[in-house]
Amino acid sequence: MRKRLAALGAIALFAFALSCGPAAESPPNVVVVVIDTLRPDHLQFYGYEKDTAPFLGSLADAGVVFENTRSTSSWTAPGTASIVTSLHPVQHGVHKGLLAVRMMQQVDRTIRVNRIPDDAVTVAEVLREAGYSTWGVSDNLNIGYEEGFDQGFDSFRTSNDAGAATVNATVRRWSEDMLEGEPYFLYIHYMDPHRPYQHRAPWYEPREGELLDSISAYDSEISYVDAKVRELYELFGWGEDTIVIVTSDHGEEFQEHGGWDHGRTLYDEVLRVPLFVHAPAESLAPGRVRAPTSVMDILPTIRELLDLPASPVDQGVSLVPALRGEGEPTSDRAFFTDLRSPPWFGSLKLKSVVRGEDKWILTHPDGEELYDLAIDPGERESVLEGRRATAEELRAELVAFEAECEKFVGESAEVTLDEEDMEKLEALGYVN
């Protein structure tokens, strides 16, 4: 308590770091919105022909859009753990979430799941230490107490694909306490674009064929969430004094490589995610950033926005210079991704490295692919045979990173699932 009171006293000294003017009276609120399974190329402000998210588009147009952001995995638990810790999956050790499926498929419903290590610092812990009240709501069971995602939150709630209306109802119940305790940090994890896709009226339009109709339903889910984000934005007046960051944990495959869903491959349709930052108009230079970025950049960016100390542990970089219009991140960064696929996708271990336009994918123990994204952004034809030296360079870079990076002691927790949980997990594709 004494530490928290000291932080509350100190926070009045913080300037809103995006502004070049005098110190603000109080620091801005911070809201991070994660929309599960959201592909950027299904948003008009990323080039989609249909305006699935007009409200998010309006926020993006007034903010800074990052055009080339990747997650660290194509699966919810590891990707989201990287968002909140700025660590790679090999460091935070969260690979499976509620996916100890072999045990799920047996009579025993007590499963062991990975969890964020206590020593790994989360964005909620950083902001609580800085004097913020911290609030989190997740509609995905993979992002819950058992997996350690509640670390640093004063209040944290998890539901099981209950829908965006339920998420918003939780936040509304908190609203009075949140506003009394400003500044606040709010983390929201919407689930709706995740399959099974609902036919959301009035946005859903039936289309002929399973693929096109699934895409239409998926798009309607995006529009539904868009409307729910608008509800909260207007309720809290986030345009006045709040930094809003919107992203996703991973994308979704619509048969680009012969399948559906996610957590099966490491191609860009499941790794690319949207990322944009919306803040008070006088505090940033609206625009678009083409340089490659990562979901791990979110925590370092928040640190600098609030004039908090940088951490040498963070694997991401601060994007504040880009928000200010002072230059883009380097385009020569290496991006590492990691996937432990579930049993129905073969229980495979996959890794990838992207540097510049080169992308190398390893399917353990010896399956390799190499793509030149400049000429083959859809990753249709591997150029491995003609560019073995490039593949070896990227492999060596991955090996060196995993050998040298700081790793936290892996932790796990036991969870017993009831019948309702099992049925919901099966509907979501988490149980075969």
Cα 296 from Cα 69, distance rounded (Å):
10
In a domain, 362, yes or no: no
Strands 253-254 and 155-158 turn out to be unpaired
Q: What is the DSSP string of 311-335?
A: -TT--S---HHHHTTS-PPPTT-EE
Q: Which of 76, 151, 156, 142 is nearest to 111 (CA)?
A: 142
Q: Is 130 helix (H, G, I), strand (E, B) or coil?
A: coil
Cα 151 from Cα 136, distance rounded (Å):
10
Q: Residue 393 pLDDT more than 80?
A: yes
In a domain, 405, yes or no: no
Confidence of residue 421 (pLDDT cuts 50, 70, 90): low
Are the C-beta atoms of 116 and 149 separated by less than 8 Å?
A: yes
List, for residues 197-249, the tens digit of each pLDDT value. Answer: 999 999 999 999 999 999 999 999 999 999 999 999 999 999 889 999 999 99
What pLDDT was estimated at residue 413? 53
Are the C-beta atoms of 99 and 275 separated by less than 8 Å?
A: no
Q: Which of 242, 203, 239 is nearest to 223 (CA)?
A: 203
Are the C-beta atoms of 227 and 209 separated by less than 8 Å?
A: no
- In Å, how far are 18, 32, 287, 426 from 187, measured between CA atoms? 21, 5, 24, 26
What is the arithmetic mean of pLDDT over 396-412?
Answer: 86
Cα 94 from Cα 320, distance rounded (Å):
28
In a domain, 310, yes or no: yes
List, for residues 337-381, the tens digit of each pLDDT value. Answer: 999 877 767 778 999 999 999 999 999 988 999 999 999 999 999
Count of residues making up the chain: 432
Q: Which residues are within 8 A (CB) of 258 and not within 5 positions of it... i.e. 6 or more apart?
A: none
Cα 53 from Cα 153, distance rounded (Å):
29
List, for residues 169-190, the tens digit of each pLDDT value. Answer: 999 999 999 999 779 999 999 9
Q: Which residues are within 8 A (CB) of 142 and not within 5 positions of it... i.e. 6 or more apart?
A: 76, 77, 80, 97, 98, 99
Q: Which of 315, 244, 338, 268 is nearest to 70 (CA)?
A: 268
| Range list of H helices, 111-158 | 123-129
Are the C-beta atoms of 339 and 75 separated by less than 8 Å?
A: yes
Q: Locate tokens 């990747």: which residue?
A: 70
Beta partners for residue 134, in sequence order: 185
Which residue range is the domain that position 314 belongs to? 2-332
Q: Residue 58 pLDDT more than 90?
A: yes
In a domain, 348, yes or no: no
- In Å, how far are 63, 136, 232 from 33, measured between CA atoms? 15, 10, 11
Q: How many domains does the chain have?
A: 1
Mean pLDDT across the chain: 88
In a domain, 53, yes or no: yes
In a domain, 410, yes or no: no
In a domain, 337, yes or no: no
What's the CATH number where 10 sits? 3.40.720.10
What are the two backbone dihedrals, phi and then psi, of residue 340, each rounded to the nearest 5 degrees? Answer: -110, 100
What pLDDT was estimated at residue 105? 43
Are the C-beta atoms of 240 and 52 separated by less than 8 Å?
A: no
Structure tokens, 262? 């996610």
What pLDDT was estimated at residue 345? 74
Q: Is 343 exposed, middle or buried (0-12, 13-18, 19+ CB in 10 A)?
A: middle
Q: What is the DSSP string of 324-386?
A: TTS-PPPTT-EEEEEEE--GGGTS-EEEEEEETTEEEEEETTTEEEEEETTT-TT--S--GGG
List, for residues 115-147, the tens digit of each pLDDT value. Answer: 898 999 999 999 999 999 999 999 998 898 888
Cα 56 from Cα 50, distance rounded (Å):
13
What element of type H or E holds 111? strand 110-115
